[in-house]
Amino acid sequence: MFKTISLLTIGLLISLSLSSAQDAPKKIAFTPVISQPLPFKIGETLIYEVNFSKLIIAGTIGELKLSVSRPTESSSSSSSGPEMLELRAEAVSKGFFPTLFGVKVKDRFISLVNQTDFGVHASTKLLDEGKIRREQKSVVNREAGRVTYTDRDLTKGTGEPKVKEKPSPKWVQDLLSSLYFVRTQPLKEGDLIPIPVSDGGEVYNIEVVAGKREEIKTAAGKFKVIQLNAKVFDGRYIRRSGEMLVWVTDDAQRIPVHARVKTSGTTITVDLKRMP
């Protein structure tokens, strides 16, 4: 369950554990214009609280930390360099979740992106969810237009990982980087932003629509915001029906301050708590 929630809170809050549509990979003829300087700086850290409600069950289930840094030695690859940025997300279960479901979660997600055009070069997921311990890596060969995906079960020691290679757009995002990419866009009301997303060795074509401007309040304060509608349900990425909305500040930083996902009678909300 928390696997769903943790991934819903990053990369436009898309859920891996929901059944996704296996679209054939397509190369999108899309060359993004990236606002410079970027709206987020190295050292930015955002802390969120994740809440869950369904029927009479409701409460806090986790905390999410998003951060921007230079690539670390452990995450560096042949594509690392001064032009690269490292995006990180850490999702930890808390509140009633570990007691109710008997599972403690501590997941980590790392994206290496080129800060000039914000294309993804490599992605890593480290999943630690009860008996599940996996390392999943994707490396994008932008020149060849290919992505290599490796899935390793860390509970099996020296077991051979599952590896697959598929076509990929030369410019592509992953679940985490897509949230930051949207922050680089002008976001005028009615704008439609196409995003090819690489996940699990497959490529999905989603869209984000910029909506109305309004004002909302979270634990971190009151904000003027822009509403974003991530079109990921109904077979675009996730087969089931639902709605995914994200609110970002209506300023140069475009900080995500609130998100709401509704599907199958369940509502998940994500609220900014603090900016250390």
Q: Mean per-residue pLDDT for 100-127?
A: 90
Torsion angle of C-alpha atoms 105, 64, 75, 132, degrees rounded to 10: 10
What pLDDT score does 266 carry?
Answer: 87
Percentage helix, strand, coil for the chain under 3-state DSSP, each rounded to 5: 10, 50, 40
Can you give the residue ranges of every domain in the chain? 2-274
What pLDDT score does 2 carry?
Answer: 37
At 241 the three-state DSSP class reads coil
Mind listing the pLDDT tens digit for each residue in 250-272?
999 999 999 999 888 889 899 99
Mind listing the pLDDT tens digit for each residue in 18-32?
333 334 334 444 668
Return left, alpha or beta for 236; rule: phi > 0 is left, psi -120 to 50 is alpha, else beta: alpha
Cα-flanking dihedrals φ and ψ of residue 179, to 5°?
A: -65, -40
pTM (predicted TM-score): 0.86
Mind listing the pLDDT tens digit for each residue in 149-193?
999 999 887 778 999 999 999 999 998 999 999 999 999 999 999
